[in-house]
Amino acid sequence: MQLKLLPPDSKVWAPRHWLSCALPGTIFIFMWLFYLVGEKVDPGLKSGELRCLGPEQLPGQVIRPFRESLTSEGDLQLPQFLDGWRKLVTLLEPLGPLFAFATQEASAKLSILESYSRGPHWTHYHTISAMADWERDPSKLHSGLYTLVLLHRALHWAQLCLGGITRVQNEDIGALCGAAYRSVLGPHHRWLIRQAANLAFLAFPSRSQLLVLVCPGSSDQEAQEALSQVADVLEAVYNRTQRLLAERGMLTGVTLKPTRGR
């Protein structure tokens, strides 16, 4: 008996044939869309993190080493602290003449501390506590501790200035940062430098211009939020340093001598 093959039922075969053809194409389209979306996401960003805080942006480069400098034991790691300061100098220099003036001072002090942290006694300059235990005369000109106290003041001014910019909706940020300068740094500067600083505050960019310089290509809101996080990290580092210095009587026990350029 010979079997006769019947042609496929078009009502059953047609949908299955369409599905078998369409499914691979659909998968390919979704994979391609996923690839395109993935190309637009910075792999260095954490979920929900601002683009302005990415690894290629200066605010993010400032935050990371400063955060890493804060040890779980309550100390502060000097190499990471210095790396954060170098990134902070790069961030602040384009913002105006007074920022440039302050960062030039900071750069000279950073070089001194870096020479200690990379020198023959580098193991004693790995943390602030180790440095304090090692140095016998902390008031000596250009000692690590002496230099750290000067940087400590400059960090406080930067933190107050940047934090104020993000909290106060005021275009006259020169007046805001000028008040922070007169409170923190001015008392330790010579009269001529104080007058030059007061003139420099008059040439400060507007708040919106400064936010564009801080985070090019971002909205004012995103740049402001990123700058706020920078200020928060600087405040945490300042508070940690303040406590470490105070616990050892360094803030009152170190007699700071006037230096050339201060």
As given in the structure block, the two tokens for residue 166 are: 């993000």
Quick: pLDDT tens for 59-105: 999 999 999 999 999 999 999 999 999 999 999 888 777 677 777 87
Q: Which CATH architecture has domain 52-253?
A: Orthogonal Bundle (1.10)
Do the Cβ atoms of 139 and 146 come closer than 8 Å? yes
pLDDT on residue 255: 41
- What is the torsional sign of CA 250, 74, 99, 90? positive
Taking residues 235-254, report their average pLDDT: 84
pLDDT on residue 248: 79
Percent of the chain beyond pLDDT 90? 33
Quick: pLDDT tens for 96-146: 776 777 778 788 899 999 999 998 999 999 999 999 889 877 667 678 988
Residue 39 and residue 174: Cα distance in Å, rounded? 40
Range scoring the smallest mean pLDDT among 33-47, 152-166, 207-221: 33-47
**Partner residues linked to 77 by β-bridges:** 127
Cα Rg for the chain, rounded, in angstroms? 28
Higher pLDDT, 162 or 28: 162
- What is the torsional sign of CA 190, 184, 107, 246? positive
Give this prediction's pTM. Answer: 0.75
Cα 227 to Cα 66, 163, 220, 230: the distances in Å are: 14, 8, 10, 5
